[in-house]
Each structure stands twice: as structure tokens, then as C-alpha cells.
Structure 1
Amino acid sequence: MPSSDLHRATAFRLAFARRQAAEVREVPGGFLVLDERYARSYEHNQLHLDGPVSPAEVSGLAEAAMADLPHRLITVHDDALGTACAAHLTRAGYEHATELVMTHTGPTPPPAPARAESLDLPALAPALARQQRLWMPDADDETIRQLVERRAARLRGAERVEFLGVYATGGDLASWADLYLAPTDGVAQVEDLVTAAPHARRGHADTLLADALHRSAAAGCTLRFLIADADDWPRHWYARRGFTVVGRAHVFTRHRAATP
């Protein structure tokens, strides 16, 4: 049932956030994760809510919980709560984005002629740094460093965490993604699938996704999911590859002044 799949995927996401955090603080309706080593990573310093909490109180709750942080990031994992929070938080200066929880409901694709490789962080880091600079051209070196090195914290997030990559013919890392596996619960998540611009539209992402799905199936993970931006084109790319929307989460962001 889709509702059961959504519940399992959400439970996995919440557990992952707790496990990778350096510090967890309980708050009404959820918890705050913190990691001073990656102070500029919103992912590692944010508020996770799944209720119950009054939507009108969420802004004040965030101000109290995140008083020592220069930014505000709130992920609301319950769709109804997130929808109810939207008006209150946008009035308080937050940007609102909707995430789609998509589960793989199609057949596992046949093995691709090429296979993804398991990477360690040193092998992945140069590609991550180049991509972050394209996304954040005004960011300073320390911000880029933290956003690259924060991958190390993700290694604590699940029973098995794999960094996968596909190399182009010339030797460049063309496409990469995280794969989080929880064989005990039968759940797997594909996260941060990226193809470097010079290597786009050459099938590298298809190879990577197919390999991630095969690894998930081999680990006994019958629920395989990912998160997609509701307003961006990859959601349609994933849909053509057998992923179906089973639910929504809401992300509210308020940036510090003059910082990307």
C-alpha cells in the first residue's frame, strides 16, 4: 500500500537524520539536528518535524531551537502539517519548497553494459567540489570544504552507505549518487544523483540508477525510494524509470543575510 510505503520511507529518513547527527535535541513535534563540524551545511543543522505541533507555533519554535544558528531550515515530513505551516512560515520570511517521496514500482531494469563503482570519499571529493562551485559560485573555500566533507557524516546514517560513481571514457567521474541500505527493514534510498554537465545525456545516470536498484534488490530491500523536487524536471525522469509519487514533505528555508 502506498500509505505504508510512505510511512516506511519517512521513518527511514527520520532515523537517518538522527543517526548521522553529531547532536540531537528533542523539540515539540520533532527534533533538531546539529553538527558544528559542518556548521554551513543546512542539512546537518536543521529542524525535523512530523507532528503533532500547532502550525502557528512552528516559527517561534524554530527561533527558540535554532537561536544560535545563522540560518533556519525546517523539514516537515507530514504533508498536512507542512501545508498548514506554509502560510505562517512564508509570512515569517521563509522560502517554501515541496519534496516528492517517490518509490520504485516498476520492474528492476536489466543490468547495464557498464556498472557503477563503489567510491571512497577521496575519490568522490574533487567532483563534489567542482559541482558545488557551479551551484554556489559565490561561496568561499570553507563553505565548499564543509559541503564536500559532510559526506563523511552520512556514513553513520544507515546500516550500509555506499557512494556510487560512473566514469566516462576519458576517466572523468561523470555521474554519482549515494545509496543508503537498511536490509533489516528492507528499505533503500537513492540520494543526490548528479551528472556533471559535460557528461549529461550520455546514459551515465541510467547506468548509475540501474546499478543502485540492483544493489538494493540484492540486499533484500523491497522498498526503494528517492526524494525529488516537486518543481524540477528530474521528477519526470524518475517517473519514466518506474518511480511513483507516494507522498510529499515540505521544506522551509530562511537564509542568513548575503550568504548563498
Structure 2
Amino acid sequence: MPPAPPAPAPVPGTPASDAAELRRIHAFLSAFTRRQAERIVPVPGGFAALDDTYALSYGNNYVLIDGPTDPEALPGHADAAMAPLAHRAVYVLDAATGEACAEPLARAGYTLTRTVVMRHTGPLPERGGAREVELPALRGALTESQRRFLPDAPDEVIHTLVERRTARRRGAADVRFLASHDEFGEPASWADLYVDPAAGVAQIEDLVTAASHLGQGHAGVVLDTAVRMGAEAGCTTTFLIALADDWPRHWYERRGFVPVGSVHCFERT
């Protein structure tokens, strides 16, 4: 029998009860990743989730470590699992394991981005007024935002990053694309909502606002709607993942989200 995975390490200063919430969130992330992938390649301590349709997308082709692993051997395992892709990406759910992997992966040429897992604990907001939409309604806004974030990316990469949302439909029992619209009916801000009523967990992902609508409150409309929808679906845990050292983390805190853990994201191009 394989060894049990280590208990996830909560962010220092958070209540001990958050460790249980973090275990539920980790289980959700692992399950979502497995279901979304076209194929799975086992690696010690986790698996590689791969999608040949969206081979240019780091977010669809990466190694997820959700159990005990050998940090020194991990770069070789990632190379074997992700060949022949040009990039490498390794995401480690447990904070202590992520820290242990940081030096071996740095020696192998990886850069580390630390992210924070944040759970909503504030008052339940009213629906903000965003509504569910289908991918075609977002395609133009998604393309424009990706070009803003990646101005030098080839058209093929931009196309992949927009269309990969189709694969997210496989990830959870209930996947919704939400948007707040301007007075002309154009998407001003949008996000994904992934709901697993059986597990009681919902994730909010990829909250983005169009450049022309920044500072107008549309992101708050989408966030409030997503939190409310998750609760109405029976989820007692609603979470998101934010960059540890960027301003949106503090905006989320003001809207009722608290840090309960972290994910170490290692990438090599």
C-alpha cells in the first residue's frame, strides 16, 4: 500500500480547522485536473495531466504533485512524463513539499511562482448581477485580454488560450462561465465557476476585467455572483487561487476571502 499523503500545511496563523478545508480543496483540485485531462501519466507523488489538443497551454499540460515525492528525482520524472512538449510545469499542492522541491527544480532551470489558496468566509453576498454565458459570447473579449497579457505571443498561442476553456467543461460536475456586461451588452468582466455539489466545493477561476472597464465594479459583480451561485448549489467551501505577491490577493481579502494554504507553481520554458 502506498504511503498516505502528508497533511497539507496551512498558512501560518490560520485556524487549525482550515487544514480540513484545505484537504477538501486539494482533493477537488486533483479530481478536476484528472477529469479535465485528455490523458494521465502517473509520476511518483502525483501525475501528469496532458491535453494534446491544447499542447501549447501550460494550464492543460503539467505535473500535479498531490502526495509524497522525492524532490531530487522530480525534475527527471517531469521530463519523462511531459516529453516531447517544449515546456515543463510542475504544481505542488502541499506547502512543505513545495518548499522541499524548490531547490532541486531551480537547479533544473525552473522558476517558482507562489500562489495562495483563499477560501470565502465572509457574509454571503447577494447575486451581483452577472449571468451565465457560453464560450462564443466571450471569445472576442478573451482574445483581446490574452493579447493584452501576452502582446508578443503568436496567433496560435492566443487561439489555444482562448479555446482551452472548452476542456474545462470536463473538469467538474457543473462548470459555468459568468460575465458582467456593459450598457451595450458586451462582456466587461468574466470568470469561471466550477461546482461539485457532491463534495460541497466550488472554485472561482480566471476572473478578468476588460481594459476598457477597469475600476467600474464589474469584477465585484462577477465575484459576488459566483460566490452566491456556489452557495445556492450546496457548496460550503468556495475558494480561489491568487498570486501571493500581487494586489488582487488583498482585494479578495476585502471581499471575504482568507488564505488557508498555498500552491507552488514551477515552470520552465
Indicate the TM-score class for this superposition, using the shorter chain for normalisation: over 0.9
Tell me the residue number matched to 2:191: 177
Give the aligned residue type for 2:176: E
What number of residue pairs does the alignment pair up? 253
CA distance in 2, matches of 1:92, 1:26: 21
CA distance in structure 1 between the aligned counterparts of 2:69 and 2:227, rounded to whole angstroms: 36
2:245 is the alignment partner of 1:231: yes
1:208-260 Cα shifts (integer Å, max 9, x gaps): 111111111110001000000101110000000000000011000001xxxxx
- TM value normalised by structure 1: 0.95
Matched, 1:110 2:126: yes
1:162 to 169, 176, 181: 176
Q: Does 1:46 align with 2:66?
A: no
Gapped regions of structure 1 (runs ≥ 5) = 256-260
Shift of 1:35: 0.9
- Could you state the TM-score of these two structures normalised by the residue count of structure 2? 0.92
Q: Does 1:194 align with 2:208?
A: yes
Q: Does 1:60 align with 2:76?
A: yes
The more displaced of 42-51 and 155-164 is 42-51
Q: In the TM superposition, what are the counterparts of 1:207-222 in structure 2 within 5 Å?
A: 207-222=221-236
RMSD between superposed Cα atoms in Å: 0.9
Q: Which residue of 2 aligns with 1:120?
A: 134
Contact 2:194-2:202 at 8 Å conserved across structures: yes
Is the CA contact (8 Å cut-off) linking 2:197 and 2:235 kept in structure 1? yes
Within 1, Cα distance between the matches of 2:165 and 2:89? 19
Counterpart-to-counterpart distance in 2, 1:110 and 1:117: 13
Q: Which runs of 5+ in 2 are unaligned?
A: 1-16
Structure 1 counterpart SS, 2:117: strand
What residue in structure 1 maps to residue 29 of structure 2? 13
Percent of pairs identical after alignment?
Answer: 53
**CA–CA separation in structure 1 for the residues paired with 2:64 and 2:167:** 17
